[in-house]
Amino acid sequence: MTLNTHETDFDRKLNAKPPVELSVRDLRIAYATSRGPFRAVDGISFDVQPSSVLGLVGESGCGKSTVVKSLMRLLPDGTQVDGEVLLNGQNVLAMTDGALRKTRWNKIALITQSAMNALDPVICIGDQIIESIQAHENVSRKVAWARAESLFTLVGLPTARLREYPHQFSGGMRQRAVIAMALSLNAGLLLADEPTTALDPIMQDQIMSRIRAIQDRLHRSMILVTHDIGLVAENCNTVAVMYAGKIVEMGPVEQVLVAPEHPYTIGLHNAFPRMLAEGEERPPLISIAGGLPNLLNPPSGCRFHTRCPFATDRCSAQEPPLREVQPRRSVACHHAGQAVDFRRRATNPETWATAARGTS
């Protein structure tokens, strides 16, 4: 697949970029507040191989967006960031400003979830895309404009609208323009933070399928941050489930989503509607009562124990490490060996109601 039927020399140059490999090790991020450090991300590690898509899922406030912003070093001044973010072996967190400018957009690009905040309201969309291209590549305006037209075609926008301003676009069109800009230099790693939130399901599916086709053909990789488990099931190879700043379960999508091991993942599974086999009765959707703990003063032990219907005294006293329970499958739960029984019991709404009464 090409961006259009008239691939330019510049397109071919961008398509020839080598893939990148990401390795995150013991990433810890704390925001400075008047009441002390807010530990938004607390010691997570993961890898993203070329051509693969990692889904990062969890509730709002669990640290997903903080993770992807840290990979681009876009966090507020004063934020404490520790650990390593290795992009082809180079630590992004230790890069000079000059090296970071060469890395952003060229090797790693971000699709933000707030399209209006990502676009300059007084510059037409086409000029903004051209500026991002010419800031990193020595090409003429004509060549950059042709690239912008290719990108608009890719995301389903009329090329004539490149000359318009963000306020002339609907929310969904602005989001597609931001996606086009993120793809402008064919970065090896795409960070997609709720990339299709403002789009209707049909356009969401079209754009994600186009992005996937490019990722597959050119061996690009992506981190997809989303609340939508269906989007993860359709687009990701691996999924990492986050809760209160930590990864609690990680593994191949078809394993984690079909047979979750961690009680939190089991709860997410039961709260999300799914396709049914012919004649199968639809099970009730069961929500997880309560909310995320205060990360200014997180609870001891497992951070999910205050909402978990299967928690024991050990869970509140001792933090479970993220450990491999099967090849490429990791879970942070003291009782992962009981997952089959937990999944059976978790289908009963009363199981979760009892847990809610115990924490009220």
Three-state secondary structure of 144-168: HHHHHHHHHHHCCCCHHHHHCCHHH
Q: Which helix (H) or strand (E) holds 240?
A: strand 238-243
pLDDT number for residue 223: 96
Dihedral over Cα of 87, 89, 91, 95: its sign:
negative
- What is the spatial distance between Cα 145 and Cα 198, in angstroms, rounded to a whole number? 26
The number of residues in the chain equals 360
In a domain, 30, yes or no: no
What is the pLDDT at residue 237?
93
Query: What three-state secondary structure class fits 355?
Result: helix
pLDDT in tens, 30-56: 999 999 999 999 999 999 998 899 999
Q: Do 300 and 336 belong to one domain?
A: yes
* Domain-located, residue 324: yes
Same domain, 207 and 268: no
Band of pLDDT at residue 355, cut at 50, 70 and 90: low
Flag whether 339 is in a domain.
yes
Domain of residue 231: give its range: 12-17+53-74+94-236
Rounded Cα distance between 23 and 86, Å, is 5
- My answer on whether 291 and 159 are in the same domain is no
116-120, 152-156, 190-194, 259-263: least confident range: 116-120
Residue 25 lies in a domain: no
Shared domain for 227 and 201, answered yes or no, is yes
Does the pLDDT at position 1 exceed 50?
Answer: no
In a domain? residue 218 = yes
pLDDT above 70: percentage of residues in the chain? 94
Residues 128 and 163 in one domain: yes
- Per-residue pLDDT reduced to its tens digit, 315-334: 999 999 999 999 999 999 99
Beta strand 22-33 pairing with 80-87: antiparallel
Lowest mean pLDDT among 6-10, 119-123, 245-249: 6-10
pLDDT digits (tens, 9 = 90+) for 68-85: 999 999 999 999 999 999
Question: Does a structural domain hold residue 34?
Answer: no
* Residue 28 included in any domain: no
Task: Check: CB of residue 100 under 8 Å from CB of residue 73.
Answer: yes
- Is 38 among the domain residues? no
Q: For residues 285 and 31, what is the distance between their CA atoms, to the nearest angstrom?
A: 35
If asked whether residues 63 and 208 sit together in one domain, one would say: yes
Number of domains making up the chain = 2
Q: Are residues 218 and 269 in the same domain?
A: no
Other beta carbons within 10 Å of 34: 4
Between CA 275 and CA 259 the distance in angstroms is: 16
- Band of the pLDDT at 277, cuts 50, 70, 90? low
The SS3 call for residue 212 is helix
Q: Is there a single domain that holds both residue 255 and residue 198?
A: no
Give the DSSP letter string of 166-190: GGGS-HHHHHHHHHHHHTTT--SEE
Query: Average pLDDT in the 344-354 region?
Result: 88
Q: Is the pLDDT of residue 3 over 50?
A: no
Q: Does the reported pTM lie above 0.85?
A: yes
Residue 205 has a pLDDT of 85
Same domain assignment for residues 210 and 259: no
Q: Are 223 and 294 within one domain?
A: no
- CB atoms closer than 10 angstroms to residue 93: 15
* CATH at residue 160: 3.40.50.300
> What whole-number distance in Å separates Cα of residue 152 and Cα of residue 163?
12
224 and 262 housed in the same domain: no
Q: How far apart are CA 23 and CA 50, in angstroms?
A: 11
Asked whether residue 179 falls in the same domain as residue 63, the answer is yes
Residue (of 110, 103, 99, 107) closest to 68 by Cα position: 110
* Rg for the chain, CA atoms, rounded: 22
Q: Mean pLDDT throughout 129-152?
A: 94
